[in-house]
């Protein structure tokens, strides 16, 4: 009785390794940006629970201070990316920014992040 071998060939293994390596390289480029975004979300949630930060410049300073503890790079979020709007008579702090991640040669990823949280006012809440 002849036994028949089964399994992956060397060429198949190299191709599979190249595909897995490509996606691993992509993850190494993208994951730090999403971790940084989680730090921004955490800082925004801290701002949301505090009261009395409805002044835009004060909110920007406090947010930058809180993001420094979350390892968010200072060049990631510019002051123009932080806004306060009024939605149904309550202030809402919004951060919206884009990040360009170079990938391979002339290929880059453009990531758009946006998060808004309601702010507590100092009076009445």
d(CA 15, CA 24): 14
CB of 5 within 8 A of CB of 80?
no
d(CA 34, CA 16): 27
CB of 93 within 8 A of CB of 48?
yes
Tell me the pLDDT tens digit for each residue of 100-118.
999 999 999 999 999 999 8
Which pLDDT does position 20 carry in this prediction?
97
Which pLDDT does position 48 carry in this prediction?
86
pLDDT exceeds 80 at position 8: yes
The predicted model scores a pTM of: 0.80
* Secondary structure element (H or E) that encloses residue 57, with its range: helix 56-69
pLDDT exceeds 90 at position 35: yes
CB of 43 within 8 A of CB of 67?
yes
Give the residue-averaged pLDDT of 23-41: 94
Domain spans, the chain: 10-118
DSSP per-residue letters across 12-47: HHHHHHHHHHHHHHHHHHHHHHHHHHHHHHHHHHHH
The model's confidence at residue 84, banded by pLDDT at 50, 70 and 90, is confident
């Amino acid at each position: 009785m002849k036994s028949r071998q089964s399994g992956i060939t060397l060429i198949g293994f190299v191709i599979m390794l190249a595909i897995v390596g490509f996606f691993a390289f992509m993850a190494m480029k993208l994951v730090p940006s999403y971790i940084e975004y989680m730090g921004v979300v955490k800082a925004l949630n801290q701002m949301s629970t505090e009261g009395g930060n409805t002044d835009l410049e004060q909110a920007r300073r406090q947010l930058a201070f809180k993001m420094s503890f979350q390892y968010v790079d200072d060049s990631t979020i510019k002051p123009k990316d932080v806004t306060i709007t009024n939605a149904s008579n309550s202030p809402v702090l919004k951060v919206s920014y884009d990040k360009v991640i170079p990938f391979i040669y002339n290929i880059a990823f453009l990531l758009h992040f946006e998060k808004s949280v309601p702010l507590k006012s100092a009076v009445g809440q």
